[in-house]
Amino acid sequence: MIRKEDFTHIAPVIWEIPTTFRGDMRVPVRLFADASLLEAALKDQSMEQAINASTLPGLAGPIIVMPDVHQGYGFPIGGVAASRFPDGVISPGAIGYDINCGVRMLSTRIRYEEAKSHMNDLATALDIHCPSGVGVEGQIRLSARQLEQVCREGSTWALKNNYALPQDIEHTEQQGRIQAANPAAVSSRAMQRGKNQLGTLGAGNHFIEVDVIERIFDEPAARAMGLEAGCLTLQLHCGSRGFGHQICSDYVRQFQDAARKYNIQLPDRELVCAPLTSPEGEDYLAAMACAANYAFCNRQVLTHFAREAFEQVLAGRVSDWELRQIYDIAHNMGKVETHEINGKPMQVCVHRKGATRAFGPGHPDLPAAYLSIGQPVLVPGSMGTSSWILVGTEASMALSFGSSCHGAGRTMSRKKAKKTVRGDRLLDELEQKGIQIRARSMSGLAEEAPQAYKDVDAVVEVVVNAGIARKIARLRPLAVVKG
């Protein structure tokens, strides 16, 4: 059991567990938290999992833990690990089963007042246009050849097939396409699971949400993103569906052998890894890129359906119903990036699991519109609470391998949430607050109750105080479609 006394308080919101804490640690663990979020992090297995992750071979720096951390499996949700390229390792469990689970946000010029009376219809239309639920299949049926194209092309496939606008692609992390993708590294089972799920939201904590911009904190940056106080935005949270789940399952299983083959000793089998340049490591990177591209394309197709919903409900009722993409970012991904480590540029494979890339101003990977302000960091809250738009900073490059938080972070188990909260009552409470909810099941709604999550505002304060992100805008929810 890890106690507060085991940490060294190295900066106002940065806490470190040194390598002396446990004999097998190769690097320290560094947690971004205030006193309250530190206490929250100690309530489950999060920090033990971060310490286990610090035993991975070839790490280039500390394991970084975000304030929204919670217990996962193998690697904590809200964790970042950078392994040296080419002599480090890649760990599928440190990326997660929902490869490239991520968030996309779009801005509008629709003022809340003019759309207020249509929110009920808009929630219903989004629910109808964007298929959601467990194992749900979409309108698109991909042939094997088309699925391979999606694997290779990501969002570009959506552009070629009239599901995207050019600006959508430009405003997507890595332009929605990871080059290393190779469908030959993907199992037939994954292909089977992926062929009918493109353009679907899925279930669990995935959602579509309409928000209103409540407050702008940085006018020039907000202008660059097309944000205006009092106007609506749209968020999408989902990933690579069964396609990515199967790829991760396949490789976690295969890597059990790889870990033995390369004589890698680990405290948890879910952390299994392989050298980045080994045949196993290269195959996983190629398959992971396929899932990442599938997820980018999935969010893009859902965006197209959301645009149809907006047009159906708002055309002729508001002056401009267009949805303009602000950004699309992954929060479960492994990427080879260049970071300055000990004063020298070094290539590393940054594993982000429940953590968002947060590159600062001037980074060459940013689109022209954001080059001077930094990369948008999208931080959804829990259902019924604020969401945030932040930007990455130079300090995030130095302190967190260019990463920031990804959400509020759970604090209550699903089991306890269902015991504590009644889905139908929660639905009434949220609707009384003026939030339209569309949910497949009341028990699923209870599991995702705001009480089950940390305070997203406190999480944001920590990353801002740590200097790894800057506030741009705060949003208030108006309509939520739960997967």
Partner 1 sequence: MKFCRFQEIEHTADLAIKIQASDFQQLLGCASHALHALLNLVFTPSDEQERVIKLAAPDRESLLVRWVEEQLYLIEVEKRGWRAWSLNIPEPNELVAVVHTASIAPLERQIKAVTFHDLEIRECADGLEAVLVFDV
Residues classed as catalytic: 406
Pick 98 or 148: Cβ nearer partner 1: 98
Q: Which is nearer to partner 1, 234 or 272 (CB)?
A: 272
Under the criterion CB under 8 A, does residue 71 sit at the interface with partner 1? Answer: yes
Q: Determine if 262 is a binding residue for partner 1 (CB under 8 A).
A: no
Residues 175-204 as x/- pattern, contact with partner 1 by CB under 8 A: --------------x--xx--------xxx
Region of 69-77, 171-179, 223-231, 355-363 interacting with partner 1 (CB under 8 A): 69-77
User: Least distance (Å) from partner 1 to the CB of residue 206?
Assistant: 9
Q: Cβ closer to partner 1: 249 or 312?
A: 249
Binding status of residue 415 toward partner 1 by CB under 8 A:
yes
SS3 334: strand
Q: Which is nearer to partner 1, 257 or 320 (CB)?
A: 257
Dihedral, CA of residue 469, residue 398, residue 236 and residue 160, to nearest 10: 130
Give the DSSP H or E segment for 126: helix 119-129
Among 15, 97, 251, 388, the residue binding partner 1 under the rule CB under 8 A is 97
Determine, following the binding rule CB under 8 A, whether residue 44 of this chain makes contact with partner 1.
Answer: yes
Using CA atoms, how far apart are residues 119 and 9, in angstroms rounded to an integer? 47
> Cβ 152 to partner 1, closest distance in Å?
23
Judged by CB under 8 A, the number of residues near partner 1 is 46
| Nearest-angstrom CA–CA distance, 27 and 301 | 41
Q: Which segment (212-220, 286-294, 323-331, 408-416) binds partner 1 by CB under 8 A?
A: 408-416
Told to check if 13 binds partner 1 by CB under 8 A, we report no
Which tokens belong to 308?
Answer: 């149809």
Alpha helices in 154-240 (DSSP H): 155-160, 166-170, 188-194, 219-224
Nearest distance in Å: CB 354, partner 1: 9
Q: Does 129 bind partner 1 (CB under 8 A)?
A: no
Instruction: Give how far Cα 275 sits from Cα of 81, 281, 291, 463, Å.
Output: 15, 6, 20, 32
Of the pair 4, 269, the CB lying nearest partner 1 is at: 269
Contact 46, 70 (CB under 8 A): yes
Residues 6+ apart with CB under 8 A from 386: 214, 456, 457, 474, 475, 476
- Helices and strands in the chain: count of H runs, count of E runs: 16, 19
Q: Strand runs (DSSP E) across 277-408, as ranges?
A: 324-330, 332-341, 344-353, 356-357, 376-379, 387-392, 403-404
Q: Does 424 bind partner 1 (CB under 8 A)?
A: no
Note the residues at the interface with partner 1 (CB under 8 A): 44, 46, 70-74, 77, 93, 96-98, 133-135, 189, 192-193, 202-204, 242, 245-246, 248-249, 252-253, 256-257, 260, 268-270, 272, 410-416, 440-441, 443-444
